Structure 1
Amino acid sequence: MTALDLLLPSSCAGCGRRGATCCAACLDSFGPPNAVKVPGVGPPVWTLAAYHGPARELVLAFKERGARALSAWFGAMVAAALASVGSAPWTLVPAPSRVSAARVRGGDHMLRVARAVEIAAVAPVLRLAPGVVDSVGLSAGARRRNLEGRVEVCGRPPPGTTVLLDDVITTGATAAACVRALRRAGVRTHAVVALTSARPQ
């Protein structure tokens, strides 16, 4: 323990318990990849936890409250899950954030997770066109319309198993829009992996 640890003790972003950034109890809320049915997405969708309790708090802390150290934890979880969703070599395509949201968060949060997955290549080839608004509070139909025609492909992933990486599957609108955009660009998405899912397991 350093003097800085004594002055500014670390605490779990999920439950507030002093110690590691993510305590063992909260880490246990994540598990092996679980298939989730998401109409309209196409490729299999896998999630590592349900979006409630400690898992939800950890995602929100990472995404909205600056707990960037959690990227290493999430990266390790995604790395452990990849063998279950496809064969190596893997390429992770992070679901894009709005430019304004990424600016507030100090960068694209899912790109940060993807780069922490040491066994996969990272291809940040998706971006959102202007006009996309925050999806919080939008209905499923409004979420689809919000993204329709506004996910752009600005590159091509290397050959291998292409995996779209997202933080939360809610209605599936983001995953579906990203998969469609990649398909139009001639890129097959083999699987979607989300840290959490708000859909029934």
Structure 2
Amino acid sequence: MRLLAADLADLVLPSACAGCGGERVALRHGTCEACVAVLEALRPYPTMPEPPPPGMPGCVAVGAYTGALRGVLLAYKERQRYRLARPLGALLAGAVVEAAVRAGGGRSVPLLVVPVPSTASAARERGGDHMARLAAHAVCRLRVAGWQADAGRVLRALPRADSVSLTVAERAAAAENSLRIRGTRIRIPRRRPTIGGTLIVVDDIVTTGATLAAVTGRLREADMQVAGAAVLAATRLRKVRGPVRDGARVRAAPGTKVPGSVPRTRGDGRASAG
């Protein structure tokens, strides 16, 4: 009934398309048919920052952080378009499958999907932990497809200062120091060799890889071996000649100025595209 009411709301009170911003168009889960077609055509692919931070696992992305995917993700994350969690969760499930297969997993192997956590303040602003919600939808889709999947809110995030002035290495250290293990939330044995399971970390966006590396390091300290990572979007950046910090060149999208430090963080203390 709630889904029906939401569908009717699109008809009675139509809103702009979450993907392209088009108005007065028929919407499907808040997205026009043209953007739906673009999203359905996306195929997960391996991606990695250049250079990758130490400890970053192999990563699979649904698509580049641009166009309809960027619009839908921002609408869900920053503009309270919560109905988009369902289609975004389905897209994330595809990336999780690709990451698991690349790590040697399969439908007969237990799969644990661990979302990168938001701080309590960010969760309040966004009506809940946005990645936990997406992970839950992804797991539902995986189970329908025959996977032995579960979502584990294994981590919690403590508040931390804005990292705009930090180097990539300092950001990674700050991110890891802000993460804590929720011991009571672990639903499968911790040591992967014992169960032969596959642990995939999921996040919304990857740029420098600092967040994924930090999460992987914290889980490893708890004897939880990360097999890979899956994200909805990867920023499509190019190498530029410019400042070098900790051995990694600062990169920028074509047509943009090169900053003297890494990208600014959002309200949850994580990089806007980490």
Contact 1:171-1:199 within 8 A present in 2 as well: no
Could you tell me which residue of structure 2 aligns to residue 116 of structure 1? 137
Could you tell me which residue of structure 2 aligns to residue 60 of structure 1? 74
Return the TM-score normalized by structure 2.
0.66
Could you tell me which residue of structure 2 aligns to residue 13 of structure 1? 18
CA RMSD of aligned residues (A): 2.4
Q: Distance in 2 between the 1:122 and 1:68 partners?
A: 19
> CA offset at residue 178 of structure 1?
0.3
Q: Residue type of the partner of 2:210?
A: A
Gaps of 5+ in 1: none
Contact 2:57-2:213 within 8 A present in 1 as well: no
> CA offset at residue 59 of structure 1?
1.1
Could you tell me which residue of structure 2 aligns to residue 36 of structure 1? 47
Aligned length: 200
1:177 corresponds to 2:214: yes
Could you tell me which residue of structure 2 aligns to residue 49 of structure 1? 63
Contact 1:127-1:154 within 8 A present in 2 as well: yes
Q: Residue type of the partner of 1:106?
A: G
Could you tell me which residue of structure 1 aligns to residue 229 of structure 2? 192
- Structure 1 residues 195, 6: CA separation in 2 closer, same or farther (over 3 Å shift)? closer
Q: Distance in 2 between the 1:46 and 1:188 partners?
A: 17
Q: What SS does the corresponding residue of 1:42 show, helix, strand or coil?
A: coil
> CA offset at residue 138 of structure 1?
6.0
Contact 2:173-2:214 within 8 A present in 1 as well: no
Contact 1:169-1:199 within 8 A present in 2 as well: no
Q: What SS does the corresponding residue of 2:57 show, helix, strand or coil?
A: coil
User: Which protein, 1 or 2, shows the higher relative CO under an 8 Å CA cutoff with sep ≥ 6?
Assistant: 1
Could you tell me which residue of structure 1 aligns to residue 154 of structure 2? 125
> CA offset at residue 181 of structure 1?
0.3
> CA offset at residue 3 of structure 1?
6.3
Return the TM-score normalized by structure 1.
0.87
1:133-185 CA-to-partner distances (Å, cap 9, x unmatched) read 35578653452243142211113352521110100002111111000000000
Contact 2:117-2:131 within 8 A present in 1 as well: yes
Could you tell me which residue of structure 2 aligns to residue 149 of structure 1? 177
1:23 corresponds to 2:32: yes
Q: Distance in 2 between the 1:138 and 1:62 partners?
A: 28
Q: Distance in 2 between the 1:82 and 1:184 partners?
A: 23
Match of 2:85 among 48, 71, 76: 71
Q: What SS does the corresponding residue of 2:64 show, helix, strand or coil?
A: coil
